[in-house]
Amino acid sequence: MEELYLRDDLARAWSGADPFERAAAVTGDVYRAVANRRTVRFETGGRAYFAKIHGGAGWGEILKNLLTLRLPVIGARNEFEACRHLAGAGVSAPAVAGFGERGSSPARRFSFVVCDALDGRDSLEDVLEGWRVRPPSPADKWALVRAVAAFAAELHAAGVIHRDFYVCHLLLDRKAWSSGRAELAVIDLHRARVYGRIPSRWLRRDLAALLFSVLDAPLSRRDWLRFLAVYRGRDWRDVLREEGELWRAVHRRALALYRKGRRKGLVAAERAGS
């Protein structure tokens, strides 16, 4: 089994070489390296890219995920399909320059996805951290809350669940923000799933992950209510009256994730009991 897609620019840069061998040997700035996956920023042909290279996950990893009722990530296909799907839906995500998959066994399959680098952007996690030192103006805070809510609504309306929907995976365009426009893009879609209709439990998980990731940020209950209004496109009072159980479940799960993070030393603030 083999599948290969190379956009013209990457095909020219990798001309004369086996694309799978070229992907496996790519070098540059390593952003992540785990047992079976590397994320590397590299430049070739005058352009900057991010490559995610997946080796075989192994049956042990696949079985471990299945036994804990988690969907295993066994290659680059999720990210490839999610990025292409979002591009078609007009939701900002990395543009795919290349994808390859080789091997019939899911435990040994080699795959890669290469996307354009999203330069000139800051992680929202870093932006919010900066707010601790220099609080934003009310207008800036509201603009960003509105932008995140609208982006989350567009992502989910497109049928995509991120499955790691934290603010660190949302990037803010630096130039646009300096001009007063909050333009976002989503990254790290290797666990994403595309649905015709999103199951409610996955929607709750995505929204809870987003809320969890801002519990330490200088945001108020009013900001959260503003988020609800923009995300659902109607008055927050109507949202809570009609969907109260959904949003209570989102809040409970976010707090549970926060407490778990504190136990593991991943968060340090004192809001888990709030």
Query: So what's the pLDDT on residue 57?
Result: 57
In the block, which residue shows the tokens 């929907």?
Answer: 165
pLDDT in tens, 101-150: 997 666 678 999 999 999 999 999 999 999 989 999 999 999 999 999 99
Query: What integer is the mean pLDDT of 246-267?
Result: 88
Residues 166 and 209 sit within 8 Å (Cβ to Cβ): yes
Residue 262 — very low, low, confident or very high, per pLDDT cuts 50/70/90? confident
- 121, 124, 125, 128 alpha-carbon torsion, rounded to 10°: 120
DSSP E strand stretches across 126-236: 160-161, 170-173, 184-186, 193-194
pLDDT of residue 70: 58
pLDDT at 55: 80
Cβ–Cβ under 8 Å, residues 142 and 229: no
pLDDT (0 to 100) of residue 125:
96
131 CB neighbour count, 10 Å cutoff: 15
pLDDT beyond 70 at 6: yes
Q: Which domains does the chain have, with CATH numbers?
A: 2-116 (3.30.200), 121-263 (1.10.510.10)
The contacts of residue 146 (CB under 8 Å, 6+ apart) are 182, 226, 230
Asked whether the predicted pLDDT for residue 212 surpasses 80, the reply is yes
Share of the chain above pLDDT 70, in %: 88
The pLDDT value recorded for residue 195 is: 95
Contact residues for 28 (Cβ-Cβ < 8 A; gap 6+): 40, 41, 42, 43, 51
For 177-186, what is the mean pLDDT?
96
- Residue-wise pLDDT for 214-230, tens only, equals 999 999 999 999 999 99
What's the pLDDT score for residue 270? 43
Output the pLDDT for position 33: 82
From 116, 122, 140, 164, the catalytic residue: 164
For residue range 89-102, what is the model confidence (pLDDT) as tens digits? 999 999 999 999 99
Amino acid at 137: S
Q: Using 50, 70 and 90 to split pLDDT, how confident is the model at 64?
A: low
- The reply to whether 126 belongs to the active site is no
Amino acid occupying residue 192: A
pLDDT score at 72: 60
Average pLDDT of the residues of the chain: 89
Q: Is the pLDDT of residue 240 over 90?
A: yes
Non-local (6+) Cβ contacts of 228 within 8 A are 149, 236, 239, 240, 247
Q: Dump pLDDT digits (tens) for 15-55.
A: 999 999 999 999 999 998 877 889 999 999 999 999 999 98
Q: Identify the pLDDT of residue 271.
A: 40
